[in-house]
Amino acid sequence: MAAASRTWFRLSPQFLRSFRRSDGKLFHTGRRRLQTKPSNGAASAYHMANTEALPEYKHQAKIIDGVAMAKEIREEVRAEVDQWVAQGHRPPHLSVVLVGDNPASASYVKAKTKAAKGAGITSETILKPSSISQEELLDLVEKLNKDDRVDGLLVQLPVPDHMTERTVCNAVAPEKDVDGFNVVNVGRFCLDEPAFLPATPYGVMEMIRRSGIETFGKNAVVCGRSKNVGMPLAMLLHTDKEHHEICADATTTICHRYTPGDQLEVFTKTADIIIVAVGQPNLITADMVKEGVVVIDVGINRVVDPVTGKMKLVGDVDFEGVSQKASYITPVPGGVGPMTVAMLLKNTMQAAKGQYSWD
Q: Is 179 tagged catalytic?
A: yes
Query: So what's the pLDDT on residue 355?
Result: 85
- Catalytic, out of 179, 287, 316, 318: 179
Query: So what's the pLDDT on residue 40?
Result: 41
Query: So what's the pLDDT on residue 211?
Result: 97
Phi, psi angle pair for 280, to nearest 5°: -125, 110
Asked if 88-179 and 196-341 have one fold, the answer is yes
Q: Is 146 tagged catalytic?
A: no
Query: So what's the pLDDT on residue 359?
Result: 63
Q: Which residues of 316-336 are buried (b: 16+ CB within 10 A; e: fewer)?
A: bbbbebbbbbbbbbbbbebbb
Q: Give, for 102, the enclosing helix (H) or strand (E).
A: none
- CATH class assigned to 196-341: alpha beta
Query: So what's the pLDDT on residue 12?
Result: 43
Taking the C-alpha atoms of residue 208 and residue 217, their distance in angstroms, rounded to an integer, is 15
* The CATH number of domain 88-179 is 3.40.50.10860: yes
CA dihedral 165, 167, 169, 175 (to 10 degrees): 180
Q: Give, for 48, the enclosing helix (H) or strand (E).
A: strand 42-50
Query: So what's the pLDDT on residue 93?
Result: 98
pLDDT per residue over 167-226, tens digit each? 999 999 999 999 999 999 999 989 888 999 999 999 999 999 999 999 999 999 999 999
C-alpha 151 chain-centroid distance? 23
- Catalytic, out of 151, 156, 280, 325: 156
| Residue-range domain boundaries for the chain | 88-179, 196-341
Q: Is 112 tagged catalytic?
A: yes
CA atoms within 13 Å, Cβ hemisphere of 35: 13
Query: So what's the pLDDT on residue 10?
Result: 39
Question: Left (φ > 0), alpha (ψ -120 to 50) or beta: where does 43 sit?
Answer: beta
Query: Residue ranges of the chain with pLDDT lower than 50?
Result: 1-54
Whether pTM > 0.85 for this model: the answer is no
